[in-house]
Amino acid sequence: MQIAMVIDLNKCIGCQTCTMACKTQWTLEKGREYMYWNNVETMPGKGYPKGYMDMNTGFNENKEVVLGPLPSLVDYGKPWEFNYGGFIEGKNKVIGPEEVPLWGPNWDEEVGEGDYPNNFYFYLPRLCNHCTDPACLAACSRKAIYKRKEDGIVLVDLEKCRGYRDCVEACPYKKVYFNTYLKKVEKCIMCFPRLEKGIPSACARQCVGRARWQSYLEDKEGPVHKLVKVWKVALPLMPEKGTSPNVFYIPPFSPPAFDRDGRPTDKPRIPVSYLKRLFGDDVENALNILKEEINKKSNGKPSGLMDILIAYRHKDMFKI
């Protein structure tokens, strides 16, 4: 069995509630301050850590794990401490970070690409993909990384981990992090202690955009199976990395671009070629299916797909 998630990029509003829900659940502790097991980045953008998409790791065509550069703390974004105490005591004149900010995990938020008025951007929430073929696991010489049989969650055994960080280098999504205090690696655990109690993962349950569905990929009654396998509208990020992710994305629409005179055209602002780079060639088909089903629903005809995506009942978004 594989626990899996679908994230709808049309419903994600970039609010970072998932990021904060994850932060308070798992990464407030010492050594984890810079970590966002769940983060939301603006695309097009450099991402978190900076430039991870260009590091070209994962599996190569020979099914070998490719190790890449190890991102620096600056690439992730230093978790600036703030000088509150000093300010109240009159030592500082301004409340702010204790060091000069140079980069952060969401530094290029809503910058996007394209000239006004044809600028475009969207949000990409990311967590560990709990891949079917995890590159992190393949890269670990300590055999400290496990993929659980019962739910497919990829976990690092903290007793076995020695902090070599080959896994950090191998993961094409850079979703394994080095704990600077424990000197071991840690990553998203898909909130397994919550799942064991029947509570969906924090990022999913707390998503106020109602953009996340969570269920077992094999469970035909579950929303994830329906969206991924039946409707084929949810796609993995960077499928060419060969890890078979289990987090899937509904690709984003965008309002029309304008011509030189300021008239709306029939072209979306986000070029389909750009979406293909992120989600592979299947994205075109997915967008077409979505369009067709929206049309059906607009004309008063039933659409099972739209009913799932509208999500009439929050509870129905999860089957765990």
Q: Which of residues 203-242 bind another protein (CB under 8 A)?
A: 205-210
Of 121-150, which residues contact another protein (CB under 8 A)?
Answer: 121-122, 133-134, 137-139, 141, 143, 146-150
Total count of residues recorded for the chain: 320
Of 1 and 281, the one with the shorter C-beta distance to another protein is 1
Does 61 contact another protein by CB under 8 A?
no
Nearest to 27 by CA among 314, 19, 300, 6: 19
Q: Which two tokens stand for residue 146?
A: 């496990």
Q: How far is the CB of 236 from another protein (least distance, A)?
A: 18
CB 74 within 8 A of CB 46: no
Report which DSSP code applies to 23. H
Residue 291 interacts with another protein (CB under 8 A)?
A: no
Q: Where are the beta strands (DSSP E) in 127-175?
A: 145-147, 154-156
Shortest separation between residue 266's beta carbon and another protein, angstroms: 12
d(CA 68, CA 284): 30
| Shortest distance in whole angstroms from residue 38 CB to another protein | 12
Q: Is 272 in the site for another protein (CB under 8 A)?
A: no
> In the set 3, 43, 52, 106, which binds another protein (CB under 8 A)?
106
Among 2, 35, 43, 75, binds another protein (CB under 8 A): 75
Distance CA 179, CA 165 (A): 10
Measured in degrees and rounded to the nearest 5, phi and psi for residue 42 equal: -90, 135
**Phi, psi for residue 247 in degrees, rounded to 5:** -110, 130
- Residue 260 binds another protein, judged by CB under 8 A: no
Cβ closest to another protein, residue 232 vs residue 315: 315
Q: Smallest Cα–Cα separation from 272: which of 285, 258, 290?
A: 285
Tell me the site size for another protein, rule CB under 8 A. Answer: 133
**Residue 289 in the binding site for another protein (CB under 8 A):** no
Tell me which DSSP letter residue 298 carries: H
**Residue among 4, 43, 53, 156 that touches another protein (CB under 8 A):** 156
Q: Which is nearer to another protein, 221 or 262 (CB)?
A: 262
For residue 312, how many other CB atoms are within 10 A of its CB? Answer: 9
Q: Could you say which of 44, 47, 77, 222 contacts another protein (CB under 8 A)? A: 77
Least Å distance, CB 97 to another protein, is 4
Q: For residues 296 and 116, give the distance between their C-alpha atoms in angstroms, rounded to a whole number.
A: 33
- Which of 3, 124, 127, 170: binder of another protein (CB under 8 A)? 170
Give the number of other CB atoms < 10 A from CB of residue 165.
19
Q: State which of residues 3, 4, 55, 237 lies at the interface with another protein (CB under 8 A).
A: 55
